[in-house]
Amino acid sequence: MAKGETPIVKRSLYSWVFAGNVGLQLLLLLIIVVMVFTRVLPLEMQKRIVNEAINLRKIDLLLSYCGIYLAAVVLANGLKYLNSMVTTVITQRATANMRKGLYHYILTLPLSFFRNTQPGMVVNSLVNELTLPANFVGMAVAAPVSNVLTLLAFAGYLFRLNPLLAAVSLSIYPIVVFLVPMLQKGVNRANKKRVDTARTLSSAIAESISGIHEIQGNGAYGIEHRKFDGLADKLEKIRVIWSLYRFGVKTMNNFFTGLGPFIVFILGGFLTIKGQLELGALVAFLSAQEKLYDPWRELIEFYQVYQDGVVNYNRTMEYFNVEPEHALEPQGRPPFELDGSVEVKDLQFETSSGIRLLDGINLSLKPGEHLALVGFSGSGKSTLALCIGQLYKYTDGHVLIGDKEVAELSKKDMVINIGFVSQSPFIFEGTLEENLLYSCKAMIDGQGQPVNNHLPTLDDIIAVLHQTGIFVDVLRFGLNTILARDEHEDLVEVLTRVRRNFQRDYGEELADYVEFFDENKYLYYSSVAENLTFGASAKEAFNNSNLAKNEYFLNFLDRADLTRPLLSLGAALSKQTVDILGNLTPDAVFFEQSPITADELDDYKLIVEHQKRQKLHQLTGTDRQRLLELALRFTPGIHKMAALPQMLETLILEGRALFREKISADDPGAFSFYQLAEYIYSQTILNNIFFGKTKTASPQTQEKIDQSIVQLLIEEDLLETIIEIGMRYDVGTKGDKLSGGQRQKLAIARAFLKAPRILIMDEATSALDNKSQARIQNLLETRWKNKSTLIAVVHRLDTIKNFDRVAVMKAGKIAEMGTYNELIAQKGMLYELVGKK
């Protein structure tokens, strides 16, 4: 927000009417003036058609007047449509501008505001509650001006026709003008309650969704049902009352409007009979009286939109009318680049309820020194770190960075100099790359230039990914990417070469661990179905799980003389499994070498019983399908409880060639077949390079394979390319496609890429395993010591030995501070904490 600009929460609703819309509003006025004329002109034509053309029997006049009438109607409707278009543009522009302005303002509000505000309330305000105010903005000029001018034009024309009849027929409208505001007061009262209750309901929904783990973990469905149902019932009653008032306004308006024709008929008819009013004038009067209803109705609707819009707008802006604690941008100067020293003097922090969380904190750090904050939960460690980082506004004392008071610095000053990693870092929806560069891009100034003149290079990013231990994850994301066809032709060619090199260089070494795809050999670590199709399906109907019920595939099995052998295999597998495992506890560990899972055992027991009484060809369709499913999933290298008959193995190899020939002719796009020289677009990069199946799931084997593939990628200069692809991985909403450890590593990498002068870490490694935590700690002690000032809130006390200072906090105060060895030698609080740990 520019200096001197009125905050959005203090702007009136009327300020939006001409904001950015002056040209469109002037265009509306021009359209309205012409439109009013075209709405009155047909009335005059009606009178002339009856009195002159029809009464005098003049065809030429009839055609002329009818032509003018038609032209006026066409022009009026065209202008009406143009009016609606312009009004819609103004409305939607106002809606977007209100939402953007309020959203931008909300992001600047203090953290204390958000602790007391549910996300659902913010969402409801931005998405729903600004709609009615924006509707008013769109109508603010067009509706009153066009309808008032139309009413005045029609009224003037009526008085021109007959003053007495006009005065009597228009006398009902002052009564309506008096009664409508009275009813509208009830509408406004109900609308205020509706806005507040809808806001509460939205907050309750957001709270339930955010706490869904607790609800389901505690089975608290009844509690949440009662809470939500009570609010829903309350909102229902309020909306009924609100709607009844609104309908009351509309009904009253319709009633009085309906009286108009009655007055015209009785009084106008009398005057016409007495010869005091021409018949054509009566017809025109009736038409004008009927047309009066449209502008009058639109004025009433506009009045309701205005009232509802004002209520919604004021309630919304009142709620967010909280002053930001700090300026966003420095005024009249560039952001400060501070030296990284930190000095805290007599610091105090109290909550709005008067609870003192920090009391008389004093400490001093030179640039590049590292401070560990330790203590029990609630001692004030995180609060102190947040006050230093300007996320909390301290209530007394001083925090100086360089020689500048933190309370007086702008947010931009802080962003340039401080990096922050929280215990539960937030990962935004989008790609890994967008999250990695989030802090760096946030430093870009208003002209679109990074403050340090450049964003991190790919080499910088890869270095930080290595340092934080997330490099392997990003590489895996890249290798698990499915490339789009025709988008990476050069890369595909190189990957196909890497595949050949992988088999050439490591085929013999990995022979005991890997079974490479070979179209001339049976693959014992692939299922029967995979051996038959020997490719990746591009259609769901041809997925392995659907083959047993795929009519095309079943017909192929008949043609290849494979149906009977496969059914026999399924029967043998089911009988052997039931004989061996039938009486054991249905534990998954017993079924690791069986194609039948523990959950399926009972079903196959029934099928085995059926086989005792029936031949294979006599079994029902369901039993046959289950036996065929079993045979197709049979993988000899894994399901070692049974062996694959040699004859069936030969038939399957013959069937493989037949299936490829047939499906390629009948449905060319259904499969991508495994061929050493062809890239498989339906498979990941890793599967394309690997081009086979592992014979064991041991981590050591997988690591050996991964290292071999990485070595080949390095040799082909592809590693950076795969990392770039991996950084395009979509992390999901709130990073839900990442583990907790991956999210923390990503947040740490984000801060490291920024390379801030001061780094604040609030238990930033709590979700990491010991090895990853040690990696980060070692990095802080080697790469960042004397380079960035570090303030770390630490829970694990075995990581603080090499910090320059350790501050032990208790009840909002620093109980003791010094080096680790000094404090241990004193046998004070740190000594006790370490002993308790």
pLDDT in tens, 351-410: 877 889 999 999 999 999 999 999 888 889 999 999 999 888 999 999 999 889 999 998
Using the predicted structure, report yes or no on whether residue 450 has a pLDDT greater than 50.
Answer: no
* Local confidence band at 278 (pLDDT 50, 70, 90 cut-offs): low
Write out 648-674 in H/E/C secondary structure: HHHHHHHHHHHHHHHHHHHCCCCEEEC
β-sheet bridge partners, residue 536: 672
Domain 8-162+277-319 has CATH 3.90.1150.10: no
Pick the more confident residue, 584 or 718.
718
Pick the more confident residue, 498 or 55.
498
User: What residues have CB less than 8 Å from 476, skipping those under 6 apart?
Assistant: 686, 726
User: What residues have CB less than 8 Å from 621, skipping those under 6 apart?
Assistant: none
Q: Which residue has the tokens 């990696």?
A: 775
Q: What b/e readout covers 582-594, taking b as 16+ CB neighbours within 10 angstroms?
A: eeeeeeeeebeeb
* Local confidence band at 44 (pLDDT 50, 70, 90 cut-offs): confident
* Local confidence band at 478 (pLDDT 50, 70, 90 cut-offs): very high
Residues 506 and 510: their CA atoms lie apart, in Å, by 6
End-to-end CA distance of the chain: 49
Q: Calculate mean pLDDT across residues 428-456.
A: 73
The domain ranges of the chain are 8-162+277-319, 476-719
| Cα–Cα–Cα angle for 774, 718, 430, rounded to 5 degrees | 65
Q: Are 763 and 452 in contact (CB under 8 A)?
A: no
Q: Report the SS3 class of residue 342.
A: strand
* Local confidence band at 181 (pLDDT 50, 70, 90 cut-offs): low
DSSP 525: T
Pick the more confident residue, 550 or 69.
550
Residues 416 and 411: their CA atoms lie apart, in Å, by 9
Pick the more confident residue, 304 or 379.
379
Of 88-97, 544-553, 701-710, the least confident: 701-710
Strand (E) or helix (H) holding 702: helix 699-715
Q: Calculate mean pLDDT across residues 95-110.
A: 88
Q: Calculate mean pLDDT across residues 424-442.
A: 87
Of 59-63, 100-104, 191-195, 812-816, the least confident: 191-195
Q: Calculate mean pLDDT across residues 812-831.
A: 90
Report the amino acid identity of residue 297.
Answer: R
Of 159-168, 186-195, 295-304, 553-562, the least confident: 159-168
pLDDT tens-place string over residues 587-596: 767 777 888 8
Q: Are 109 and 324 in contact (CB under 8 A)?
A: yes
Give the pTM: 0.74
Q: Report the SS3 class of residue 278.
A: coil
pLDDT tens-place string over residues 743-775: 999 999 999 998 889 999 998 888 788 888 888
pLDDT at residue 448 in the model: 42
Phi, psi values for residue 645, rounded to 5° = -60, 140
Average pLDDT of the chain, as a whole number: 83
In DSSP notation, 71-134 reads: HHHHHHHHHHHHHHHHHHHHHHHHHHHHHHHHHHHHTTS-HHHHHTS-HHHHHHIIIIITHHHH
Using the predicted structure, report yes or no on whether residue 444 has a pLDDT greater than 60.
Answer: yes
Q: Are 28 and 87 in contact (CB under 8 A)?
A: yes
Write out 582-614 in H/E/C secondary structure: CCCCCCHHHHCCCCCCHHHHHHHHHHHHHHHHC
